[in-house]
Copies of this chain bind each other. A is one copy, B any other.
Amino acid sequence: MNEFSDDTLPPALSDRLGYLLGQAHLAHRRRAEVPLASLGLGVKEFGALSVLADEGPLSQQRLGKRMRVDRTTMVAVVDELERNGFVERERDPDDRRAYALRANSQGRRVLRRADEAARRADAEFLAPIPTADRRQLKNLLRRLISP
């Protein structure tokens, strides 16, 4: 019907940032999802566990705001992390409405492995561009999303 094969980049979209970001995000996630799942972590759970391990005990809503995830959505995310034994729901002694979520030692152990897996996925995904450009890509993205 025309000269374009099915899986090349449509020229009409190749200069549109939204399309480029969307496809890149999708391609990257496809790579990262499987190895993380084999550790018992979804993408969102991985992110939540990372933040918890790094920023000490956090309430559920605060963790949610930190990740831009809705408060009601965080319930299921933390449920899953707790069910797998990675995170514990203690009560915040200074505000007994809120939890003091904390990554336990098993959570930290799995997080180290997940980090490796994520870095491997990043490396595979970034393979087409030179090392210096990889660092710069991250820098540019960071600056674009910094508030």
A binding-site residues for B, Cβ under 8 Å? 1-2, 4, 6-29, 32, 43, 47, 50-51, 53-59, 62, 65-68, 92, 118, 121-122, 125-126, 128-129, 133, 136-138, 140-147
Contacts and interface: CB of A to CB of B under 8 A. Distances in A.
Given A11-B55, A21-B24, A136-B140, 15 more contacts: A2-B58, A9-B146, A10-B51, A10-B67, A12-B55, A17-B28, A18-B32, A18-B43, A18-B118, A20-B138, A23-B141, A24-B141, A25-B25, A26-B68, A133-B136
A33 to B, nearest CB: 9
B13 A47 contact: yes
Question: This chain: how many copies in the complex?
Answer: 2
A68 to B, nearest CB: 7
Contacts of A138: 15, 17, 20
16 contacts: A4-B55, A4-B66, A9-B145, A10-B54, A12-B54, A14-B142, A16-B47, A16-B50, A16-B122, A17-B137, A18-B121, A19-B47, A22-B25, A24-B145, A133-B140, A137-B140
Contacts of A66: 4, 6, 10
A128 B141 contact: no
Contacts of A141: 17, 20-21, 23-24
Given A21-B21, A140-B137, A8 B147 contact: yes
